[in-house]
Amino acid sequence: MPYTTYSLDKLPLLAGLKDEEKKALISSGIERHYPKGSYLFHCGEPVTHFYVVCSGAMQLVRGTTDGKEVTQDIVIQGKTIGKTEILQQVHKIHMVSALAVEDSVVLEFPAAWLKSIAQNPTVALNILSSLSQYIHMMELEVEHKSTMDTAQQLGCFLQRLCVLHNFDPKGFTLPYSKSLIASRLGIEPETFSRTLKKLKSYGIGIKGNTISFADSALIEQSVCSHCSSLETCSTHKAVVTGLLHKKSS
């Protein structure tokens, strides 16, 4: 199978395994194509498979009692979907829906496959590491809602977006619609539009759908200093390093 643009040899879940072991484990996957706007699964359906996003992006979304939608995450290539639901003992149904926000290719494995390879000590540690990182990020987002204003939260998210996609911090185009980013941050589209205008005073330039980190020192002072993880934040450090590299090249 071609697996389009993503090499599964790089999959963090399989880090530390020999090439032969990786190939043997990957061979049981089935490649599925999902056009933009189609669903991988719906909230409430039984959890039957584990997924690796090989290209494109999937929006994990759930509905609220008042009819609104909340985006839990945006899963890009190289990331996985379903491991938490499969490995936990409480829920056997999906708590969110997975919607393709771009034409996407996904590698699909039976739920039993993940449970089986989780018996491997190396894979088990990789899973624990992945879950730990995800929990830490969720805890930070909860913290940010109480310590940051909306513009600061958006400034932090845009830095993560830049590093996650390996964009040029001097200027990059938003990979998703503004409405999707607003949903991910849990804010109304109108609030999101007003917030974008405030980012200039925080050292972040906005021109249409193009973002640029113009002043790393101002970003740190205006945004990152309000986060408890400033000293250990690899994301902000990567943005600063990227800006310095671009200046020297």
Cα distances from 46 to residues 34, 83, 86, in angstroms, run: 19, 14, 10
Residues 108, 168 within the same domain: no
In sequence order, the β-bridge partners of residue 59 are 74, 99
Which CATH number covers residue 162?
1.10.10.10
Q: Is residue 56 part of a domain?
A: yes
Query: What confidence score (pLDDT) does residue 78 get?
Result: 87
Residues 82, 163 within the same domain: no
Q: Is residue 137 part of a domain?
A: no
Q: Is residue 127 part of a domain?
A: no
* Per-residue pLDDT at 237 exceeds 60: yes
d(CA 62, CA 83): 18
Per the model's pLDDT, the better-predicted residue between 156 and 13 turns out to be: 156
What is the average pLDDT across 147-162? 95
Last residue of a domain, one of 82, 107, 122: 122
d(CA 200, CA 101): 28
Query: What confidence score (pLDDT) does residue 85 get?
Result: 85
The model's pLDDT over 174-217, given as tens digits with 9 standing for 90+, comes to 999 999 999 999 998 889 989 999 999 999 999 999 999 999 99
Q: Is residue 141 part of a domain?
A: no
How many domains is the chain partitioned into structurally?
A: 2
Per the model's pLDDT, the better-predicted residue between 169 and 90 turns out to be: 169
Given CA atoms 153, 159, 165, 170 in this order, what sign does their dihedral have?
positive
Q: Is residue 139 part of a domain?
A: no
The model's pLDDT over 74-95, given as tens digits with 9 standing for 90+, comes to 999 889 999 888 887 656 889 9
Residue 30 burial (10 A CB sphere; 0-12, 13-18, 19+): exposed
Residues 151, 46 within the same domain: no
Q: Are 58 and 36 in contact (CB under 8 A)?
A: no
Q: Which residue has the tokens 């829920």?
A: 91
Residue 31 belongs to domain spanning:
8-122
The model's pLDDT over 111-131, given as tens digits with 9 standing for 90+, comes to 989 888 888 999 999 988 988
Which CATH number covers residue 92?
2.60.120.10
Q: Is residue 183 part of a domain?
A: yes
